[in-house]
Each structure stands twice: as structure tokens, then as C-alpha cells.
């Protein structure tokens, strides 16, 4: 299986129409061999787009009655109690990892609930432990954990931020960026790596130690 796409709750409250349109276009034109999992209320967006997921996972406390009725007899449900240890997104992620796909895309607007946002970020580490490329698509940005060597193809003009998760990230080098870093240390309590701009088609970033988050902002004019 090439990819698993996980659609989480939150898009009902998205206030940016361009971001919502971007997400809708991605879902509508997704690869035919992708496996689509709706994490509970994530099914609401799919229902509005009349997209049928392969599975809906969760406790069903945020899916609309209309969407629930529409999907009830058409697809597989993975039902869980409301009182559980995992979030609905985590349940969907566990299923995705069990499929051992080539990649995982998590759709989450990263709005409204900071606790859920933090939990979504934590899921990236689960995938990295299994060497499965995984990123979060918010509609305005892509968010992923950095590997020691990273290439950014077709990214000229995009804004890329490097946000340390560990107290410090050492030996950071960038090529093809407007503001180059040359074996520098980025600190979690400073903003040195935020809002850099890709200026070359062969842009790269590498580092020596620590944990680093990459945030790629979409070109708003292109959406």
C-alpha cells in the first residue's frame, strides 16, 4: 500500500476558505491506491465532499447524525467507547501504521484545540520510529519531523520554518535558502529558524543532533 490518509476533526471550524478549498482539492484528487481513514468527526468533511472513506474510527461523538446515517451501511466502522485512553486520531494512526504504508498524511486544521494539536504532533514520532514518512496537512502548511538530511524539491518561493523540539538542535546547515545556516545551533527558546525562504531548486537542510520540526507554508497565491 502506497499511502494512508487520515482525516481528523476540526475542519468544520476552519475559517480560511482558501485553506478549506486546498484540503478539499487534495482529498478529491487523492491517489487511487490511497487508503482513507476518517477519525470520527473527520467524516463530516468527507460527507460534504461526498467522498466515501475506507473506514471510520473512533467513538462517534463528533460525527454528525447526517454523516453517520449516510455512511452507516456502506463502510467499515471501528467503534470505541467515549471513555478511552487514546484519541480518535491516535486510533486511526495505529491502524495506518499496522498497514505498513509507504507514507501517511494526517489532515488536521490545527485550530481550536491546542491539546489536540499537541497530540497530533506527537503522532509524527510514532511514524518516524517505523521509518514511515508522515506529515500533517493543515490547508495552509505541511508539518513534519526532520530527518538528519532533508531535500525540498519544487519549493522555490516557499517559506520554511525550522522549530526545535529538543532544547537545542546542533549543526544545522541549509543550502538554497535566503538566510543560510552554517553549522549553527537552534534553540527551542529562540526563533532563529523561523520564516526562511527557499531560493533554489536544490534546497537542502541537514543537522547533527536534536529533534526538529519542519513547517512548510503553502504559497497562498497559488491556492
pLDDT at residue number 1 = 65
Per-residue buried b or exposed e for 48-81, using 16+ beta carbons within 10 Å of the residue's own CB? eeebebebbbbbbebbeeebeebbeeeeebeebe
pLDDT at residue number 220 = 52
User: Which pTM value belongs to this model?
Assistant: 0.91
pLDDT at residue number 222 = 39
Lookup: cell for 91: 486510533
Please tell me the distance from the alpha carbon of residue 140 to that of residue 143, in angstroms, as a whole number.
10
pLDDT at residue number 117 = 83
The answer to whether the Cα torsion of 20, 22, 26, 29 is positive or negative is: positive
pLDDT in tens, the chain (223 residues): 699 999 998 787 777 888 889 999 999 999 999 999 999 999 999 999 999 999 999 999 889 999 999 998 888 888 888 888 889 999 999 999 999 999 999 999 887 788 888 888 999 999 999 999 999 999 999 999 999 999 999 899 999 999 999 999 999 999 999 999 999 999 999 999 999 999 999 999 999 999 999 999 987 543 3
Amino acid at each position: 500500500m502506497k499511502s494512508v490518509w487520515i482525516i481528523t476533526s476540526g475542519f468544520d471550524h476552519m475559517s480560511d476558505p482558501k485553506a478549506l478549498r486546498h484540503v478539499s482539492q487534495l482529498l478529491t484528487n487523492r491517489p487511487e491506491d490511497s487508503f482513507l481513514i476518517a477519525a470520527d468527526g473527520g467524516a463530516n468533511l468527507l460527507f460534504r465532499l461526498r467522498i466515501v472513506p475506507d473506514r471510520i474510527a473512533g467513538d462517534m461523538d463528533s460525527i454528525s447524525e447526517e454523516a453517520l446515517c449516510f455512511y452507516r451501511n456502506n463502510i467499515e466502522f471501528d467503534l470505541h467507547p467515549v471513555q478511552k485512553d487514546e484519541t480518535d486520531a491516535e486510533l486511526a494512526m495505529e491502524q495506518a501504521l499496522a498497514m505498513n504504508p509507504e507514507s501517511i498524511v494526517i489532515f488536521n486544521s490545527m485550530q481550536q484545540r491546542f491539546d489536540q494539536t499537541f497530540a497530533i504532533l506527537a503522532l509524527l514520532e510514532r511514524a518516524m520510529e517505523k521509518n514511515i514518512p508522515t506529515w500533517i496537512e493543515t490547508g495552509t502548511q505541511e508539518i513534519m519531523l526532520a530527518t538528519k538530511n532533508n531535500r525540498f524539491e519544487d519549493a522555490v518561493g516557499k517559506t520554511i520554518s525550522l522549530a526545535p523540539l529538543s532544547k537545542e538542535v546542533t549543526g544545522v546547515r541549509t543550502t538554497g535558502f535566503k538566510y543560510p545556516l552554517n553549522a549553527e545551533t537552534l534553540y527551542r527558546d529562540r526563533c532563529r529558524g523561523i520564516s526562511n525562504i527557499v531560493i533554489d531548486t536544490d534546497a537542502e537542510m541537514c543537522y547533527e543532533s536534536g529533534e526538529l520540526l519542519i513547517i512548510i507554508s503553502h504559497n497562498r497565491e497559488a491556492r
